[in-house]
A and B are shown apart, each in its own frame.
Chain A
Amino acid sequence: MTALAIRMARQVRDRINMPASFFVAIALFALFALTVPRFATSGNAENVLRVASILCVVACGQAIVLILGGIEFSFGSSVALASIVTVLVVPDYGVMGGFAAGAAVVLLIGVLNGALIARFHLPPFIVTLGMLMAVAGLAATLAGGLPIDAPPSEAFSWPARGRVLGVPVPVIAAGASVGTLFLVLAYSTIGRLWYLVGANPEAARLSGIRVRTTIFLGYLAASAFCALAAIILTSRVGSGQPSLAPNLPFETIAACAIGGIPLAGGQGRASQVLCGVLIIAMMNNAVVLLNFPVAYQQLMIGAVILGSVLLQKSSGSIGVLWRSSVPKRGGR
């Protein structure tokens, strides 16, 4: 009986090709809608999306790195450095110049990471962790330890508070990020190369693929997503802060893991990133609405990460539901 149910559920899932975390997200939504007051209102939905948007943008970059079989920690301090550089540059070069400088800083860190990892075969874990700390130190030095306020202006706050056709700009940025990630992973040649290199770097090399270039471009692309997020984040806080989003790398890894992207490399889809981000965002929101202490938030996210990894690993009846038996076009 259960076997039949599982087989049917799998067939449905294979047909619409949704990650298993999609069903978790739906179930969670239904649960909160029924039990949490004011959860299922349009105002709250916008709030959830707005809060989730930065995490979503950066998680798209993290997903690329994870597909490559790597990991990226330096997001945490590179957004902080970007915010400080932005604020320092704005008075002389204007808002656009400031944001461009901030984004350039993040891209430069991506280039450094990619070069160290691809060129010198250093482990991504160590390189990006080292970069996280070094950049944090640099940010603190540059800011003299304290937040620097940006001169308030309409233009400066537009990336975080502006709207286009009534939709908040950060939400548009998140949607565009997931959409871009989907297109790149599913259709582009570089996306295919990321999957190949992540699935087996030695086989990729022997197949004639430029493994180093592929890895380098992966870290660069990841930093591009992070640069976009840095602009929105800086705009939102309106200042340069040496400890702006220290948990960002861990939250993005959590989002990808909850979405079902294995850390082993070679697999991962944009829809999984989206589902993972939404699951985290809904849980955070529910905890706030229920007036639970913030510590509960961490406890719940931690439990969900462990639970989802367990699900992916287990070969039990739920495990077979989780793993895709027919991955359409491989990694998508």
Chain B
Amino acid sequence: MTAPPLLTMTGIAKHYGATCALRDASLRLYPGRVHALLGENGAGKSTLVKMIVGVVRPDGGTITFGDAAVAFRTVRDAVAAGIIPIYQHLSLFPQLTILENLSAFAFGATRDLRASSATLSIEQARAWLSSVGLERDPMTLVEEISIGERQLVEIARGLGQACKVLILDEPTAALTQDETERLFTVVRSLCAQGTAVLFISHKFDEIDSIADDVTILRDGRTVVDGAPIRSLTRDELVRAMLGEAVATGSRELPPPGDVLVEARGLRLHATAEPIDMGIRAGEIVGLAGLVGSGALDIASALAGATPVASGTLLVAGDVIPFGDRHTASKKGIGYVPSDRHLQGLFPVLTAMQNASASSLKVISRRGVVREQAESDRLLPWLRRLKLHPLKTELPAASFSGGNQQKLLMARNLALPGLRVLVVLEPTRGVDIAARETIHQAIIEAALKGVAVLLASSDLDEIEALSHRILVVRQGRISQELPRGTARGALVSALAERDAA
């Protein structure tokens, strides 16, 4: 590496009250290279990148971009300078078209009211889109395209300016393999044009395939500073992140018992073909499907989370109305939704209040919440999932993405009378240690006779945990594959086009 770094951060520190998010972090990004930023949940990765674009202000340390020290005041300033951040949280306007989103951004970047009349032409928009490999009509509404495609639109927005630094904070957490590949193609071509890319992910396969260099944060400190990724084995990376290796627990699944939860003649829409499925006690059923296949919808329906057109839901022989979460949860159906922020989190409430939201019945007596009972019930789970920081009185919004996910898992693992666990993307955004813990917790629940429905876009996860895999295509279950099915067969079952 002879070229000077494009962006340098040194000695970065940041405190939030008593919590120390970053102590002494450094980072150097080089043009034309993909730099992976790794670290366990709460290590400070997102905080660090938010500092680059001026969303968070450092307490100490310096940031230089090119030759000059910089301190952007807003994201817009950073974007104008050629630093494009893509968050997991998308910032597009869903009710507007792709074109309107692209030109709104171009307009915003110029801050010139008169520029609004000179909106982006369709041709220009199409050119931007195709430069990120997205062949979509610019007049399509953003809400009609998938999350992966939205991310590409976000990147395309940034391409109006010269993109010197591209920041991707867990962009692939919600993407399918296909979409991830597409994103990587764009990243590689940007790189070839000299863009410096910062890539945050908890998925090692992706890091292997895209990253050139790696920086690792632990406890707010940089412990590996820009080493070539090939110079480290996966074991060494994990050790540097966690301070220890992750022991993979036993993946031995319990023998399933009798059918515990059953959907009969389930139609999500009036015109859909009916679905019949059952899960046995102690059985883990994987539900796999591409984005838009309906896998997540089927899982939500079984948890009583969404109303359906018709059908019967039975738990241990009792009929439960669809779309009635209260009754479902009383019958012991836990549900981890796929959209953490909209459907799961109470951002302004404490971590403990978030975790105990489904246990209020059992931790209350005579209308009073007993805080001792609350912490007795939830704290062991939070400990086990390694909530970091383990300060249960802090608001959930102040926790890192992966730690917020742990709160949702704890809420459901501690559900009173848990009999059925419906989990959607249970390990989205969590680090490998927490992923292992969550997997073990799911297997343990099954050992205790809980019926588990696991919907995930992470095929490794599905393969590792499922007794059998149901493949969902176009809103129905197209195939059932046994445990141990080869990856190739699974992938082709997912992607197979229907004849009609």
A206 touches B348 (CB 8 A): no
Are the CB atoms of A206 and B346 closer together than 8 Å?
no
Contact B329 A208 (CB under 8 A): yes
Q: Are A10 and B17 in contact (CB under 8 A)?
A: yes
B136 at interface, CB cutoff 8 A: no
Q: Which residues on the A side are within 8 Å of B18 (C-beta)?
A: 326
Contact A330 B353 (CB under 8 A): yes
**Provided the pairs A326-B393, A327-B395 are in contact, do residues A195 and B349 lie with their beta carbons within 8 angstroms?**
yes
Known contacts A200-B347, A266-B349: A207-B358 contact under CB 8 Å: yes
Is residue B325 within 8 Å, beta carbon to beta carbon, of the partner chain?
yes
- B335 sits at the interface (CB 8 A): yes
In chain A between 154 and 212, which residues have their CB closer than 8 angstroms to a CB of chain B? 187-190, 192-193, 195-196, 199-200, 202-210
What is the count of residue pairs linking A and B with beta-carbon distances less than 8 angstroms? 94
- Specify which chain B residues have a CB less than 8 angstroms from the CB of A203 in the assembled complex: 337, 342-346, 357
* B368 sits at the interface (CB 8 A): yes
Closest chain A CB from B413 CB (angstroms)? 13
Q: A188-B369, A193-B360, A202-B343 are in contact. Are A207 and B411 (CB under 8 A)?
A: yes
Most chain A Cβ neighbours within 10 Å, of B325, B337, B344, B371: B325
Residue B166 at the A interface, CB < 8 A?
no
CA distance A210 to B291 in the complex (A): 31
* B367 CB within 8 Å of chain A: yes
- Selected from A209, A267, A329, the residue in CB contact (under 8 A) with B357 is A209
Chain A, interface residues (CB within 8 Å), range = 20 to 34
CA distance A46 to B369 in the complex (A): 36
Main secondary structure of the interface of B (DSSP, over half): mixed
- Chain A residues in 8 Å Cβ range of B394: 326
CB distance from A302 to the nearest CB of B (A): 27
Q: Which residues of B contact A202 (CB under 8 A)?
A: 342-343
Task: Determine if B345 and A208 form an interchain contact, defined as CB atoms under 8 angstroms apart.
Answer: no
Q: State which of B16, B345, B352, B357 has its C-beta within 8 Å of the C-beta of A325.
A: B16
- B328-377 at interface with A (beta carbon < 8 Å): 328-330, 335, 337, 342-350, 352-353, 357-358, 360, 364, 367-369, 371
Cβ contacts under 8 Å, B350 to chain A: 327, 329-330
A187-B368, A327-B395 as given contacts; A210 in contact with B326, CB under 8 Å: yes
- B141 in the interface, Cβ–Cβ < 8 Å? no
Chain A residues, Cβ within 8 Å of B329: 207-208
Q: Mark A256-277, 1 if CB is under 8 A from B, else 0.
A: 0000000010110000000000
Which residue of chain B has its CB nearest to the CB of A264? B348
Question: A10–B330 Cα gap in the complex (Å)?
Answer: 42
Contact of B346 with A327 in the complex, beta carbons under 8 Å: no
Question: Which residue of chain A lies nearest to B327 when distances are taken between CB atoms in the complex?
Answer: A208
Q: Does B305 touch A at the CB level, under 8 Å?
A: yes
Q: List 23 A-B contacts (CB under 8 A).
A: A188-B369, A189-B368, A199-B348, A200-B347, A202-B343, A203-B344, A203-B345, A204-B357, A206-B337, A206-B344, A207-B325, A207-B358, A208-B325, A208-B328, A208-B329, A208-B358, A264-B348, A266-B348, A326-B394, A329-B350, A330-B353, A330-B395, A331-B348
Contacts from A to B (Cβ < 8 Å): 10, 14, 187-190, 192-193, 195-196, 199-200, 202-210, 264, 266-267, 325-331
- Extra inter-chain contacts (18) besides given A196-B353, A203-B343, A207-B411, CB under 8 Å: A187-B369, A188-B369, A193-B360, A199-B348, A200-B346, A200-B347, A202-B342, A203-B357, A208-B326, A208-B328, A209-B326, A266-B346, A266-B347, A326-B17, A327-B395, A329-B371, A330-B349, A330-B395
